[in-house]
């Protein structure tokens, strides 16, 4: 039996002994394990059915711990000081000693300091960074509540620390630097490109992966998709209609359409907080399709659009790695 608990010291003791424990962060729940044990790292990939070429994020308690695994200076340090602890992941040159299993053998390692004080206390107690991908089966929607982890991973996880619903609700923004030293966003997320640019005075364009030779090919296989088809069409009877804008919230609805409001006031942060929970809940509700009102092409809307597009693009009958 997987136990859901609220005692972070118990979670830390289990992690220390090599267990896999789901921990809450401000973005989504992570499937954590100690990053200095190759067996633990391999168990993380196996539990999620995650391709081995899709590297993990190392979660650190503080900057000193980050420096034990990565080189942090220049603009990266500027962003780290501004946004950590918080929903920002940096791709940094790895130090010797970082296990290949943690970064899929790549020269850079992904690192972040999560906002949750409890998560940081757990990391500090374990004493080494915790590798933690989102605590879902690979390809499925990320969990934002402890119950989602239990429903998705079941006995593949040893313990779940319940910290209530995640406050941001979508994954961290990933930033890395190209060979010319230009900062790029590898994954849109809870921190917008504008907020990053306001901090350093430089733009952070989206990284364009070389599709012939992508750096982290496993990342391309991610779909964030429920089993029920997702679309951005208007709903038909039998469908769910997921909305965020004030105008759509007032819509009285057509018969047979299940209206689900992520926000009643057009608040995108609230919509982000509720999106994954809505997808997971509707996935088990028997609706024919999950139709989602298009998100705006700016700010947090960009990250939400991207998640919905990926969910909608899920190839039929794919086992979505």
Among 36, 101, 171, 283, binds ligand TXA (CB under 6 A): 171
List Cβ neighbours of 147 (8 Å cut-off, separation of 6 or more).
none
Task: Tell which positions 211-250 bind ligand TXA, by CB under 6 A.
Answer: 215-216, 218-219, 222
Nearer to ligand TXA, 22 or 262 (CB): 22
The answer to whether residue 25 forms part of the interface with Mg ion (CB under 5 A) is: no
Sign of dihedral through CA atoms 228, 229, 232, 238?
negative
The torsion of the CA quartet 222, 225, 229, 235, rounded to 10 degrees, works out to -120
Q: Which entry of ligand TXA, Mg ion, none binds 106, CB below 5 to 8 A by partner kind?
A: ligand TXA
Nearer to ligand TXA, 93 or 284 (CB): 93
Q: Which entry of ligand TXA, Mg ion, none binds 72, CB below 5 to 8 A by partner kind?
A: none
Beta bridge partners of 34: 130
Task: Tell which positions 129-158 bind Mg ion, by CB under 5 A.
Answer: 134
Residue 140 C-beta: closest distance to ligand TXA, Å: 11
Instruction: Please identify, among the stretches 77-85, 102-110, 149-157, 247-255, the one whose residues bind ligand TXA according to the rule CB under 6 A.
Output: 102-110
Kind and range of the H or E element at 88? strand 88-93
Kind and range of the H or E element at 302? helix 300-312
Nearer to Mg ion, 23 or 257 (CB): 23
Nearer to Mg ion, 29 or 241 (CB): 29
The answer to whether residue 144 forms part of the interface with ligand TXA (CB under 6 A) is: no
The answer to whether residue 137 forms part of the interface with ligand TXA (CB under 6 A) is: no
Distances from the Cα of 127 to the Cαs of 7, 35, 45, in angstroms? 18, 10, 22
Beta bridge partners of 254: none
Residues 131 and 31: their CA atoms lie apart, in Å, by: 8
The answer to whether residue 103 forms part of the interface with ligand TXA (CB under 6 A) is: yes
Rg of the chain over all Cα atoms, to the nearest angstrom: 19
Nearer to ligand TXA, 82 or 248 (CB): 82
Nearer to Mg ion, 222 or 261 (CB): 222
List Cβ neighbours of 160 (8 Å cut-off, separation of 6 or more).
2, 3, 4, 5, 21, 22, 29, 146, 149, 150
Nearer to ligand TXA, 110 or 279 (CB): 110
How many residues line the site for ligand TXA (CB under 6 A)?
Answer: 29
Residues 84 and 69: their CA atoms lie apart, in Å, by: 16
Instruction: Summarize as ranges the residues that interact with ligand TXA (CB under 6 A).
Output: 25, 27-28, 30, 54-57, 87, 89, 91, 103, 106, 108-110, 132-134, 171-172, 174, 186-187, 215-216, 218-219, 222
């Amino acid at each position: 039996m997987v136990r859901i608990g609220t005692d972070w010291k118990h979670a830390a003791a289990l992690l220390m002994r090599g267990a896999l424990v789901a921990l809450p962060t401000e973005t989504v729940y992570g499937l954590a394990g100690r990053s200095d044990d190759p067996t633990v790292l391999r168990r993380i990939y196996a539990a999620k059915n995650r391709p081995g070429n899709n590297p993990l994020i190392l979660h650190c308690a503080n900057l000193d711990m980050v420096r034990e695994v990565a080189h942090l200076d220049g603009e990266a340090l500027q962003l780290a000081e501004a946004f950590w602890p918080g929903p920002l992941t940096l791709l940094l040159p790895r130090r010797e000693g970082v296990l290949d299993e943690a970064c899929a053998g790549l020269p850079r390692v992904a690192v972040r300091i999560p906002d949750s004080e409890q998560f940081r206390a757990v990391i500090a107690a374990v004493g080494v960074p915790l590798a933690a991908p989102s605590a879902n089966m690979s390809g499925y929607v990320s969990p934002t509540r402890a119950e989602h982890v239990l429903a998705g991973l079941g006995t593949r996880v040893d313990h779940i620390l319940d910290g209530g619903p995640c406050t941001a609700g979508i994954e961290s923004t990933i930033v890395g630097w190209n060979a010319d030293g230009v900062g790029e966003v590898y994954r849109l997320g809870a921190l917008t490109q504008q907020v990053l640019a306001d901090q350093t005075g430089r733009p952070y364009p989206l990284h364009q992966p070389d599709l012939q030779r992508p750096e982290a090919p496993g990342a391309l296989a991610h779909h964030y998709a429920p089993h029920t088809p997702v679309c951005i069409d208007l709903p038909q009877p039998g469908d769910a209609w997921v909305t965020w804008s004030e105008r759509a919230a007032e819509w009285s609805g057509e018969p047979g359409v299940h209206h689900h409001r992520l926000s009643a006031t057009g608040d995108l942060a609230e919509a982000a907080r509720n999106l994954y929970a809505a997808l997971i809940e509707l996935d088990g509700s028997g609706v024919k399709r999950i139709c989602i009102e298009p998100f705006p092409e700016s700010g947090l809307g960009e990250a939400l659009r991207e998640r919905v597009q990926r969910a909608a693009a899920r190839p039929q009958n794919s086992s979505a790695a």
